[in-house]
Amino acid sequence: MATIGRRTGAVGTALVLALTIGGSALAGIGIDRSSDEQALAPTRAPASATIEQKVDKLLSQMTTQEKLQQVQLLSDGQITDADAKAGVGSVFSLVDPEQINHFQHIAVEQSRLHIPILFAYDTIHGYRTIFPVPLGAASSFDPEVAQADAAVGARESATEGLKQVYSPMVDVSHEPRWGRIVEGAGEDPYLGSVMAAARVKGAQGTDYSAPDKVVSSVKHYVAYGEPEGGRDYNTTDMSESRLRNFYLPPFKAAIDAGADTVMCSFNAINGVPGCANKYTETDILKKEWRFDGFVESDYTAVAELRACPPVEPDSGPCGHGVAADGPEAGAAALMAGTDSEMVSTNIRDYGQQLLADHQITMSRLDDAVRRILRVKFRAGLFDHPYVDVTTASDPASYGRPEDLAKSRWAASRSMVLLKNDGQPLPLDPSKSTALIGPLGATVDEMLGPWSGRGTDPLAPKFVTLFDGLKAASSAPVTYTAACNLAHNFDPPNNANPPITPDEEVCAGPGDDGTTIQDAVTAADNADQVVLALGESAFMSGEANSRSQLDLPGHQEELLDAVAATGKPVVVVLFNGHPLDLTAVQDKAAAILEAWFPGTEGGNAVADVLYGKVDPGGKLPVSMPRGVGTVPYYYNHEPTGRPCDATFKWNSRYRDQSTCQPLYPFGYGLSYTSFDVSNLKLSRSSVGRNGTVTVTMDVKNTGERAGDDVVQMYIHDPVASISQPVRRLRGFQRVSLESGESTTVTFTLDKSDFGFYDNRGKFVVEPGTIEVYGGDSSAAAMERSFTVTR
């Protein structure tokens, strides 16, 4: 897993783009199939001598105060004309193109050195054309989904004058309670690395000075996804080997793909906050990986380095206690490697004093400014600082037909079929359908959290599930909400008191005045029944961790009542957390995990439900059996007493009859069937610098075309440090006609069978390596080879 910036196995086969969806062909939308070898291939360009000369010349002309202004990153609510004239470095969340031009004109024309401002935004899974949430996109096991998302989001963001996006979020997480798990690629570092690289390449292209490209900021550096108790912002503690083997690889892949900015995290790791961590920011990122871009802090993360006073703080955020006050916080962040301070202003305000007191050095300040200027030159801001307001205000600039087709394609490709007992799916479009549940006709639950500007007037029309089903069916489709979806918006003072599940989702009559009894009547009167269940979009994302993972509110009561009619119930889930679906599994005939699918989500779900698209996605996270079993993840260490539910003295839960999750990582069904067989290795032994070729055959043994994801895992059974029971090291999504077969090929090298030890050293040890093949992390085929000295 060491040098992630390379290859290992194809991740995709040729997609038949002429697939007709809802009467509109996808041919020509520009999706270019790729492999994980291509996705992980390093594309970082060498430094430009011309740009370096420009940076050095400009830096030599700057006063100390001008340098301190460059390292300041302000919000849209903070920026003033005076800041722009003084030479402030960056601004985020300002999205009015006229205001962007206003401040940019002041910076370029009225500041002494005419340095443009870098404008940024949280374009996470779309700007106005919204794609599936990143956890959903990871379910596609297809980097082209992530790349298409990032490319469309970059173009729409750049059209409005934004030149940096705070994306991708590449935090690996084993914590389904953590709200921000929805923003990443799940629990696996290899899948996360492939998706991270794809998103950077989609957003930046080969040259992010292009008018439709932006510079990516990779976040949150590092190990933010493993907070204690799953609570956002909470502390993280882990070994060196775990840090390097699980959490750093996706960041390395993003850097190798060309990402030029990185956001340090809120959390402390082993007691050291991310934005004051010299080891991670300077020693690893800048020195070991030779990253020459800049690091910005997260929102007020520098101020949060301070200790809180005994009484209620009156001077802003605080908490970590590694600095006594603002000056110490600014010094700690800058000297650790943070180059740009977001919202709080400790480096800018106290910089002169800190220099005089030798708490920071001019060489380090110069390094920070040099990195910021380098990115601005690479972004082409000095040549093209202004936004075309006419184009930015034109509705035709957003939601273009080809982009909506990509969004729909990405959403349908990201869905995971978890159950289909008796094959109630696909639905028959000639039969009447009752759509029931609080998520059947809502907007935000299609778009999900961090949905950019997907609901403003310039955004394309979003499609609810009710809209999609009606458009796809030739028979009547009825909708019964049955209960109300109540969003928990923050009150004005941000007090946000604790809420009960009943207050959040499915309480009281629905928005249409209907009740659970009305839902039962609707189910009785229809040929087919679909329940749209899950979470409010505001139950996941930042600051939205959950202590329970079941369906909130009265949704299980609704499921019970509808299932009691005897009709096979198809449950469609819209959610951002991996949920405990034990109760749903017992009562639903079919379960389709749709996550939050985006602008075209309703159409995409209908495409899958009615069988126009085969559900070929796989789970990027394990689905737990009860919240008490988390964190569970497939790539865990074996322990001295591996779990055996039939024997007491093992690592098990007394009240669980199995050691397995409800649905494992890599799991997903199809409307057809597949046989993965004939696992072969090219050799039985290999030197530490050699390679092994792995092949498997996959055949569509069913009666219709469909997709499967062939997956390769390895295990090192004897090592100096206990190794995970399995590690994903290659995958390929294949599309096959009925009866069709193909052979997939992967390549293993030392970056796969080696690992980092607790000294931070990458080691390749002699011994046996087991290779597993199949179409989930429970793959049963096994072969082995020996690594020799």
How much of the chain is helix, strand and coil, in % rounded to 5?
A: 30, 20, 50
Q: Exposure pattern of 364-400 as b/e (b: 16+ CB <10 Å)?
A: bbbbbbbbbbbbbbbbbbbeebebbeeebeeeebbbb
Is 611 exposed, middle or buried, given 0-12, 13-18 or 19+ CB atoms closer than 10 A? middle
Neighbours of 707 (CB within 10 A): 26
DSSP of 475-503: S-EEEE--SEE---PPPTT-------HHH
Q: How far apart, in whole angstroms, are the C-alpha atoms of residue 716 and residue 757?
A: 14
Q: How far apart, in whole angstroms, are the C-alpha atoms of residue 122 and residue 166?
A: 5
Q: How far apart, in whole angstroms, are the C-alpha atoms of residue 713 and residue 777?
A: 7
Q: How far apart, in whole angstroms, are the C-alpha atoms of residue 697 and residue 705?
A: 17
Q: Exposure pattern of 205-238 as b/e (b: 16+ CB <10 Å)?
A: beebbeeebbbbbbbbbbbbbbbeebbbbbbbee
Q: Which residues contact 671 (CB under 8 A, 6 or more apart)?
A: 417, 420, 423, 425, 426, 611, 614, 615, 702, 704, 706
Q: Which residues contact 564 (CB under 8 A, 6 or more apart)?
A: 520
> Would you give the end-to-end CA distance of the chain in angstroms?
19
Helices (H), 379-477: 389-392, 401-413, 444-447, 465-472
> Is position 752 annotated as part of the catalytic site?
no
Neighbours of 421 (CB within 10 A): 11
Q: Which of 122, 298, 444, 749 is catalytic?
A: 298
DSSP of 147-205: HHHHHHHHHHHHHTT--EE---B------TTSGGGGGS--S-HHHHHHHHHHHHHHHHT
Q: Which residues contact 766 (CB under 8 A, 6 or more apart)?
A: 688, 786, 787, 788, 789
Q: Which two tokens stand for residue 194?
A: 């492939």
Neighbours of 197 (CB within 10 A): 33
C-alpha 472: how far from chain center: 30
Q: How far apart, in whole angstroms, are the C-alpha atoms of residue 129 and residue 386?
A: 23
Q: How far apart, in whole angstroms, are the C-alpha atoms of residue 84 and residue 79?
A: 7
Relative to beta strand 72-75, strand 341-342 is parallel
In DSSP terms, which residues pair with 218 in a beta bridge?
A: 262
Q: Report cis status (omega within 30 of 0) of the bond before 222.
A: yes
Q: What is the DSSP letter of 264?
A: E
Q: Give the H/E segment covering residue 580.
A: none
Q: Which residues contact 659 (CB under 8 A, 6 or more apart)?
A: 643, 644, 645, 652
Structural contact between residues 117 and 85, judged by C-beta atoms closer than 8 angstroms: no
Residue 544 three-state SS: coil
C-alpha 455: how far from chain center: 21
Residues marked active site are found at 298
